[in-house]
Amino acid sequence: MIGMLKILEYNFKELQSEFVKNGFPAYKAKQVFEWIYQKAVTDFVKMTSISFADAKKLSEVFAPINLDYERTTGNTSVKFLLNTTDDFGIECVVIPSKNGNTLCVSTQVGCALKCGFCETGKGGFKRDLTSAEIVSQYLVARAEGYEIDRIVYMGMGEPLLNLDNVLKATSILNEETGANIGMRRFTVSTAGIIPGIKKLLEKGFKLNLAVSLHAANDGLRTKLMPINEKYRLNDLFVVLAEYREATSRRITLEYVLLDGVNDTDRDIEQLVALVKGTDFHINLIPYNTTSSSFKASKNMDRFFDKLEKAKVNVTKRRSEGGDISAACGMLFGKK
């Protein structure tokens, strides 16, 4: 069960000292770490460089890694539903592209932020995922044969409200001895939790940031994303500018286009004014129909052209995974 996977909570150094504490030489920790994160082999008995006697001893010290999941294959993406020991479902999605595979990872069961267009927020918040449960999503994708080139914390939940576990999982997946995913290949998606962005800065983690913007004025943004009441656009943009300056990492502003809500010429003007003087990148996202009353905008091309004309960095995101409820705002961990 996912909640018992204690070995997955250790980074390489911690695992070495656990091994030594339990009477194993440190080099065996390296072998085990490599088996888990490089080859996605999670059963000590199947680690051929570990003797049967050692495998038996290890399984007396560490709980077994049982990855319990179901797979749904779509036209382009593959979704995995992992079952937690306390019977929740958490979802992750592999999104292949010509530049390699991206894994979209969940960080909480549900979400407390209740953005109006999002399925995850509708079910409310249940609990934070442990770092082991976050890392497990990577191992499931690997166990199913997918090499993972990038991690985006963009699945269920608000990563900056579970930052300690997200950073622990990031440092584990960043280990050279293991998965060796470079820091530049991680992206944290946030609704704009200002203290979380500041904490990222304090801790020195240089991750790409994707901020769910979805409106360029406080009134509309608060209607779509109630958290904007607490963290207003002006304050958010001050902190984003600091982050960009201190880390040189790319800042993307996600903007889902909703018919008649945030897709008018006035919205374009406000958006241009908001990003003036920054090099932030705007990513326009087609809305995936969910159970909400919102509809996808027909104005995507017009919106895009006008932003380009105003010399704003802008791209249109292809919406992947809509056929298996794996696209942005559609993950809800239904079991």
Smallest separation, CB 125 to ligand SF4 (Å): 9
Smallest separation, CB 214 to ligand SF4 (Å): 9
Nearer to ligand SF4, 6 or 199 (CB): 199
CA distances (Å), origin 266, targets 163, 216, 269, 271, 278? 36, 10, 5, 9, 20
Q: Which residues are catalytic, by number?
A: 91, 328
Smallest separation, CB 22 to ligand SF4 (Å): 39
For ligand SF4, the binding residues (CB under 6 A) are 111, 113-115, 118, 120-121, 157-158, 191, 212, 329
- Answer whether 188's CB lies under 8 Å from 166's CB: yes
Spatial distance between the Cα atoms of 326 and 316, rounded to a whole number of angstroms: 18
Nearer to ligand SF4, 29 or 327 (CB): 327
Residue with tokens 């199913």: 144
The SS3 assignment for 165 reads helix
Torsion angles phi and psi, residue 314, rounded to 5: -145, 145
Angle, helices 194-203/233-247, rounded to nearest 10 degrees: 20
Residue nearest to ligand SF4 as judged by C-beta position: 121
Nearer to ligand SF4, 254 or 263 (CB): 254
Smallest separation, CB 136 to ligand SF4 (Å): 19
Nearer to ligand SF4, 159 or 178 (CB): 159
The vertex-131 CA angle with 127 and 134, nearest 5°, equals 80
